[in-house]
Structure 1
Amino acid sequence: MKLTLLGTGNVTGCPVYGCDCLACQRASLDPSKARLLCSAVLEVNGQRILIDANHPQLQTRFPAGSIDAMLLTHFHMDHVQALFELRWGIAEPIPVYHPDDPLGCDDLFKHPGLLDFQPARQALHSFSLAGINITPLALNHSKPTLGYLFASENGRIAYLTDTLGVPDQSWQQLLRHPPKYVVIDCSNSPLHRSGNHNNLSDVLELAHALPDSTWVLTHIGHDLDEYLMQHPNCLPSNVLVGHDELCLSL
């Protein structure tokens, strides 16, 4: 089982248009430090599962027939925007698993095209896909949002974005079934607080409570990147800064 982080940025990505902070200057000069919007792809048992759909070269990166299914965390535009073009493609239907949000995003439900929207997933109601067990985990966000706990015979990976903290029922599931890797929303530096996203202090508290897991930061804003540049030794050994194209394998 391999999870590749296609993008690790928050809604603005990095560099941010018009910004001259240290992180944005670095990303402008060094493309390896740039961040696309947050999404990922899981490859397991010969199948490919896309997690959110916002990659700017999605159709080039994943030609017709190469996506076996999609998991959506939520229906905010920055996580589903590539679906609006993809849906009118000429290809076999793609099963799309998603949280229970009747509003969806714009007219995706009304005009799905090749997107085969499955019945809404419910938190803690596990299902099988590509030969592995997937448990949806409720998250704290401004729209109905699910994280996902992937369990194969080789171990577990959790993918948790977008969220502020982790709801108790979801946290208890992680404690009962500790993942090898937890990919976690960490949008802001400790100097900034958001009502819908973790900052670094929030994540460090979670990582301290589940120390045997490796915590991988994603959905990263440029202010956090700048903070990490200025405080290079602030992370414990079980917390890693994610970057675009990072692969986590079990």
Structure 2
Amino acid sequence: MAGFSSGHDKTCRLQVIRYYMKITFLGTGTSQGVPVIACGCEVCRSLDFRDKRLRVSVHLEVDGKSFVIDTGPDFRQQMLRERINHLDAVVFTHEHKDHTAGLDDVRAYNFFQKKDMPIYGRPSVLEQIRQEFHYAFAEVKYPGIPQIKLHEIDDQPFEIEGVRFIPVNVMHFKLPVFGFRVGDFTYITDANYISDTEIEKIKGSKIVVLNALRRESHISHFTLSEAIEVLNKIQPEVAYLTHLSHQMGLHAEVENELPEFIRLAYDGLNLEI
């Protein structure tokens, strides 16, 4: 075990536990994915598999436990592609549709694992899930509906199956969003502001994933240059950019412009730490 030791803010003393982890990028695209329907740009027409991006999500295998952060509209396709046959819990960053819409498909795990699926999110996320998947909470339940158990989280660390998650507060325009640090890995998507206090929670991570939507300014997402600036503050061993739109450009070309420690993530990319 090791903890933050610098500074006087309580966030700097949060305990960080080192784990063996396998990280799989299930999706690395923005809310419309790439290619975008009806678009004929060179990125959407690209034959490079790295330019095919499903909606953003990541799978973590931590000491044999299986977690997914966000279940977007492509959740079923992603889990089949990666042959993820067991899932211990789902953790949500925020309530937007491109991060929650696939939750119904946890039904398959309910059936084979014979238990409810634990769901973790801030109160606003859980309320949105209650509304969007209202049939799962009906007094009289239709056979075969998803069986889920909601767990409210705040900005304090929490554990799932003995694995410690440290929430990182970021802003997505005016919407609070959680990133998560698990051991030496930090994952942040849908952000355009991270305070210095929260950056201290991330420092020391070996791998950091951060969103970068496009090159041009955006009201609620980091641009490429803004993401690079944040990552230069954090200085992880390696960083990966996710939540990429077709406006970012071709994967192969953008990669050549990046600092040595920063790469573009792509769907199906596997990392170990």
TM-score bracket, normalised by the shorter chain, equals 0.7 to 0.9
Match of 1:180 in 2: 206
Measure how far apart 1:46 and its partner are: 1.4
Instruction: Tell me which amino acid in the other structure corresponds to 2:170.
Output: L
Instruction: Tell me which amino acid in the other structure corresponds to 1:240.
Output: R
Whether the aligned pair in 1 keeps the contact of 2:207 and 2:236 (CA below 8 Å) is: no
Q: SS where residue 25 of structure 1 aligns?
A: coil
Structure 1 segment 97-116 matched on structure 2, within 5 A: 97-101=120-124, 103-105=127-129, 106-108=131-133, 111-112=136-137, 113-116=146-149
User: Compared with structure 1, are the counterparts of its residues 241 and 17 closer, same or farther at alpha carbon in structure 2 (3 Å cutoff)?
Assistant: same
CA distance in 1, matches of 2:213, 2:65: 30
Whether the aligned pair in 2 keeps the contact of 1:99 and 1:144 (CA below 8 Å) is: no
Which residues of structure 2 form unaligned runs of 5+? 1-20, 138-145
Question: For 1:143-180, what per-residue CA distance to the aligned partner results, in whole angstroms no more than 9, with x for missing partners?
Answer: 331110001xxxx10000111131232112123xx101
Match of 2:165 in 1: 134
Query: Normalized per residue, which structure has more helix?
Result: 2
Instruction: Tell me which amino acid in the other structure corresponds to 1:10.
Output: T
Match of 2:77 in 1: 57
Q: Does 1:34 align with 2:65?
A: no
Q: Does 1:22 align with 2:71?
A: no
Q: SS where residue 207 of structure 1 aligns?
A: helix
CA distance in 2, matches of 1:133, 1:83: 23
Measure how far apart 1:202 and its partner are: 0.7
Q: SS where residue 249 of structure 2 aligns?
A: helix
TM-score (norm 1): 0.85
Match of 2:6 in 1: none
CA distance in 2, matches of 1:231, 1:42: 26
**Which of 186, 190, 209 is residue 158 of structure 1 equivalent to?**
186
RMSD: 2.4
Which residues of structure 1 form unaligned runs of 5+? none
Q: Does 1:71 align with 2:91?
A: yes
Whether the aligned pair in 2 keeps the contact of 1:2 and 1:247 (CA below 8 Å) is: yes
Match of 1:240 in 2: 263
Aligned residue-pair number: 237
CA distance in 2, matches of 1:186, 1:214: 15
User: Compared with structure 1, are the counterparts of its residues 50 and 148 closer, same or farther at alpha carbon in structure 2 (3 Å cutoff)?
Assistant: same
Identity %: 27
Measure how far apart 1:222 and its partner are: 0.5
Instruction: Tell me which amino acid in the other structure corresponds to 2:60.
Output: L
TM-score (norm 2): 0.78
